[in-house]
Amino acid sequence: MERTLVLIKPDVLERKLMGEIISVYEKTNLHIAAIKIIKPTEQIAEKHYIEHKEKPFYVELIRYITRGEVCALIIEGENAITEVRKINGDTDPEKAEPASIRGKYGISKTENSVHSSDSKESSEREISIWF
């Protein structure tokens, strides 16, 4: 059994699409073990995205994720990390499968609707940041 951290990002909550996205995860065999809405502080955003600190898009990324509310979820189940990454689609909505969440709802590489952990180590680190 595995768990992963999902963030439903401000572009989704602003467009009142949060329920639609939660339903996508709910309809799988995975289990939503925890859920909360939070407006991230800069501190929490910087902790979460520490690995991107030197990237050219970092400032824009922090500005975006802190501009409104985020819905954080812990999703658990067999291969939860890989399964959720598949459901979310490619980071770039233009490259994502049209049926994936980012393919369907993503606006740009920054405003790409959802985040999920990319490994067991990052899922435990990220869960401890948000929960």
The catalytic site residues sit at 115
Q: Where are the alpha helices (DSSP H) in 1-131?
A: 10-14, 18-26, 42-48, 58-65, 80-88, 101-105, 120-130
Q: Is 102 in the site for ligand CMP (CB under 6 A)?
A: no
Numbered residues of the known binding site for ATP: 9, 57, 85, 91, 102, 112
Instruction: State yes or no: residue 109 binds ligand CMP (CB under 6 A).
Output: yes
Among 8, 61, 72, 74, binds ligand CMP (CB under 6 A): 61
Choice from 66, 79, 110, 122 touching ligand CMP (CB under 6 A) = 110
Closest CA to 77 of 23, 24, 32, 30: 30
